A and B are shown apart, each in its own frame.
Chain A
Amino acid sequence: MPKVTRLFIKSGLVYLFLGIAMALVAELPQVNTGALLLPVYWHMIVIGWVTQVIMGVSIWMFPRRKRSRENIESVPALFSFWTLNSGLILRFTAEPFILLFQGNSAIISVVVISSLLHIAAVLFYLTEIWPRVFMRKYVKRKKQ
């Protein structure tokens, strides 16, 4: 399993735990967050867990045109991991406070950077995975 896959899956497991824990906390009658935390824990589950596991496993399992160590530990895949996770951390830090501090320039900056990091992460992932989605041509071996 490539290093980047391990990073994606382990990070995914952390988000799964955080997402389910946050959903539990939001259900407590003493904690009245309303819809404030709803997008946070949904994105923890859907991007943090589901999408990261899909990304990690596809980077590991999808066929490669060339088999070499360099190809296995690819740079776009690593960039995808780091941009996605830094984007998610910024997002989860800022998102619950957007409505509380409407118009705050620091919050706006963090949100904009986080959005750009999400887009960059998907583009890096596409750079890695798109060339690996191909039809394998079967070449009949000549009988010796």
Chain B
Amino acid sequence: MPAQSVWMIRLSLAWLFLATLIGSILLVHKAVELHPAMWSLLPLHFETAIWGWAVQLAMGTAYWIFPRHLVGTKRGPEKPVCWVLILFNTGLITLLAGYLHQSVLPLKLTGRGVMTFTVIIFGILMWSRVKSYSSHTH
């Protein structure tokens, strides 16, 4: 498994744990009120579960398992994928901070913007690996 996939999958597992923890606290809060501001954690639960866990796990697994190039570097340029990994998670953290501090700077917009940019870069990098070896001429 390449290092980029290892870190994407490990981070996705960490986000899974955080999403479950927040979800469990919210479920208990639904039955017994823990704190009046607790529902402000609801968007954090969605964002961590969808982007942090499911999407990032799919990205890490796709980068690892999709058909590799027969010439040049096996999985294409490696450094941009490292930047995708770093920026995607930084964008997600910025987005979550935006939910918690809504009056401070356009954090949500910045976070979403960074995440969108990284997903586009990832899509461009992966595009050429969505192929079949049988159609490849040697």
Neighbouring A residues of B13 by C-beta, 8 Å? 126, 129-130, 133
What is the size category of the interface that chain B forms with chain A? 20 to 34
- Using a CB–CB distance below 8 Å, which chain B residues touch chain A? 1-3, 6, 9-10, 13, 16-17, 20-21, 23-25, 27-28, 30-32, 49, 53-54, 57
Neighbouring A residues of B25 by C-beta, 8 Å? 115
Contact A116 B1 (CB under 8 A): no
Query: How distant is the Cα of A136 from the Cα of B9 in the complex, in angstroms?
Result: 15
User: Most chain-A CB neighbours within 10 Å: which of B3, B23, B31?
Assistant: B31
Per-position binary interface string of chain A over residues 3-14, scored 1 when its CB falls under 8 Å from any chain B CB and 0 otherwise: 000000000000
Contact B1 A134 (CB under 8 A): yes
State how many residues of chain A have any CB contact under 8 Å with chain B. 28
Query: How distant is the Cα of A74 from the Cα of B25 in the complex, in angstroms?
Result: 29
Query: How distant is the Cα of A112 from the Cα of B9 in the complex, in angstroms?
Result: 29
A-B CB contact pairs (8 Å), 10 listed: A51-B54, A91-B27, A108-B32, A111-B28, A118-B20, A123-B17, A126-B13, A129-B13, A133-B13, A134-B6
- Using a CB–CB distance below 8 Å, which chain A residues touch chain B? 46, 50-51, 54, 63, 91, 94-95, 98-99, 107-108, 111-112, 114-116, 118-119, 122-123, 126, 129-130, 133-136
Contact A115 B1 (CB under 8 A): no
CB contact between A135 and one of B3, B30, B32 (< 8 Å): that residue: B3
Contact A118 B2 (CB under 8 A): no
Query: How distant is the Cα of A98 from the Cα of B54 in the complex, in angstroms?
Result: 28
Contact B1 A63 (CB under 8 A): yes
CB contact between B28 and one of A51, A115, A122, A136 (< 8 Å): that residue: A115
How many whole Å from A84's CB to the nearest CB in chain B? 10
Contacts known (A46-B49, A133-B13); A115 close to B54, Cβ less than 8 A? no
How many whole Å from A41's CB to the nearest CB in chain B? 15
